[in-house]
Copies of this chain bind each other. A is one copy, B any other.
Amino acid sequence: MTAITFPALGIIGGTGKLGSALARRWVAAGHDVHIGSRDSTHAAEIAARIADDTGRTIGSGSNLDVAMRTQLLVVTVPFAAQADTLREIRDAARGKIVVDTTVPLMPPRVMRVQLPAEGSAAMIAQAVLGNDARLVTAFHSVAAHKLATDLDIACDVMVFSDDKEARRSVAQLADAAGLRGVEAGPLANSVAAEALTSVLIFINKHYSVDGAGIEFTGHLSAPVA
């Protein structure tokens, strides 16, 4: 893995479990990270905690502020907040890579795949963002409580986009968080990772696993151009 410098990373909804864990890992790896939240005071608290923990600086602000001041946005909000959040940052996201991590879980039946009428959370994101942003989806099935530690996580991250360059960048961003980013095809394929999340929740319960993930088998060579 070669060292890669990413542009400023904005974590939209970055006070949640997934967002704050990703932020912490990217900060620790030396990247310029900014935590956004509906509540900028809460964003500042989480940022301060991560700064304390890692000894590095990290920015914070409202979701919109962070979206405006960063170049690569990672959206980590619950399904119920997805569309509204994307609408809020749409103008600020113009021309930027937006990584949507949304899984269409519908509590309380989270062990059962229940896909939205649009087909997937990726299709909802695309409908909201149109062609304004470079939409990528990823990080659907990472156990956030493991990501919040410094431990190695045996977990591949499927990365989907119709924009090949953006897809490759986000696979490298997953690598930078100590995971393995695997390019997994066009946005239409995102449904596979979204649906798999309910399967993983089922497996955790059924087999008493602490945060199951998946790994692709077979030797994955460098991507074929």
29 A-B contact pairs sorted by A residue (CB < 8 Å): A112-B189, A113-B188, A114-B188, A115-B119, A115-B191, A182-B203, A182-B207, A184-B199, A184-B202, A185-B199, A185-B202, A189-B198, A189-B199, A189-B202, A191-B195, A192-B192, A192-B195, A195-B195, A203-B216, A204-B218, A207-B221, A207-B224, A208-B224, A209-B216, A210-B218, A212-B216, A214-B216, A214-B217, A215-B215
Of chain B, the residue at the smallest CB distance from A208 is B221
Distance to closest chain B CB from A12 (angstroms): 26
| A223 lies within 8 A of chain B by Cβ | yes
| A136 lies within 8 A of chain B by Cβ | no
Taken together as a complex, chains A and B put the C-alpha atoms of A93 and B145 apart, in Å, by: 45
| A111 lies within 8 A of chain B by Cβ | yes
List residues 103-129 of chain A with CB under 8 A from any CB of chain B: 111-115, 119
Residues in B neighbouring A218, C-beta threshold 8 A: 154, 204, 209-213
Residues in B neighbouring A216, C-beta threshold 8 A: 200, 203, 209, 212-214
Contact B215 A209 (CB under 8 A): no
